[in-house]
Structure 1
């Protein structure tokens, strides 16, 4: 009898759970309809391709497909870690990304603070347009502009150097100069986009705080240090965590456009190596193993950075 008396209670509970769910679906149906294409995009183009990671453990061939290809276990990973070029490529990837983070990450923050302090609207709009424009241009165009500017014969940079009695420098053809040019070009292309993010965060800070600080005698530098930077701290943390997650995934287009045989030893990174070996060399399983290794390290970096950020200031991505 006790069992029979419990059944209606359980069924009532399940119905009460279903009703709010159905009610929410009906109420927000248009929200879910608009969200559906985005979810489909991520499922089709982000999650379904993950099934292809099985190639990292196979000797994959187009003729036999996934089910007919021979299983080789961790052979491709053994080849990766024992290869003579692997550690050079890994070092190049990490060094170029570390340089980009060290020198490039603070630039959008500084630019956003400067723009926020500019009072002339016309000058502010022109400055913003100049900074944002490179982000919307392809690396083919930007690379061509950069090569022309740095040309040892006709480039404006070397023309100025020679005018002051110096010798022309092969910026794009010397191993000691190429990494610096890579980092500078990355800042040039990406600083404007980052500035938009930080400028939006700055505009969300309560203006009464600045007025109170001004009344108390705080100058611009103190206002920036004690109000602006703490006000955008959470945004800085999120952007840093996301940036650290791409430490292993340096931009293919930028490297491919700027690289040449003279600087390959310092310019070859994981993405260009995967293209050269995987696409041009048709070694799909081997390059899938490289991609899987790259993804695992990126996940570790994201989780580690988030944990460190939470320990330092109590804020993180999650």
Structure 2
């Protein structure tokens, strides 16, 4: 290693140019008086004393001030290396902790060129879903993702599925494949979102033909996910025909996905199940602190399953009868409702609940 490379490395350890000059001079002399080092390094004797204290603190040199005149000795290189190594290892836990918190996210946008890769990615994203999946896919490709969809439903994920099928879906095994399945007789892009933050969009021809030359876009973007879901529910979902609806789950259940809450409440109310809701969240007007709401669910506004009764495609609302009167409840970001829910526990209402 030449002097230039050595100086560059010493700079990386925090030594200034004059500190490096002083240290290299001491290495060449082994041990020397401050005046000798000052003359050789081209600095003042006072500066040598000042720098020597700093170099001693770093483990580079030892200052012998028990003799007159004071001498400065360069520590053996193996001791210096050992000291620097210890310093680096000491940093490791703190660096690793900070790195885990600030690790780069998955690339936000990715172009996918292969049909096989698109279908593999769809399965992978569905398998990672925790709360919600929205998916549109051609009928002929449903079998390729059906097992992943059924597993998602089994673990409590809300799955809203549109099958693009010009010929109808009578011959498709739909049981358990989704929470709600709709069929549309027009071609449509393959659109997937999971948990409203990751997903992909692929042109129809890319999925139905292996060498179409079309490209899909995968995304990891919390701000884009709700836009794709809004397009799915607003533009495609109302146009498709409902062909399957799952049975309601056994209660009690606690949900942080509000669409799943409204969907299950809808199914139970249609089955004449008296429902109680315990809701954590905050008032949408002047509610700065967390609050809790308990009452009977008397109505819903939704468009997830027919017949729809919401005023706009993404409206999902619980109407809850409380001791203070009727309260409307929406999900995250609610503004037209009275209450914004963070989590909801649905339970079968004991008629003696009025005593609570």
TM class, shorter-chain normalised?
Answer: under 0.3
TM-score (norm 2): 0.19
- Which has more strand, going by share of residues? 2
Which structure has more helix as a fraction of its residues?
A: 1
Q: Which has the higher contact order (CA 8 A, sep 6+)?
A: 1
Task: Name the TM-score, length of structure 1 as normaliser.
Answer: 0.21
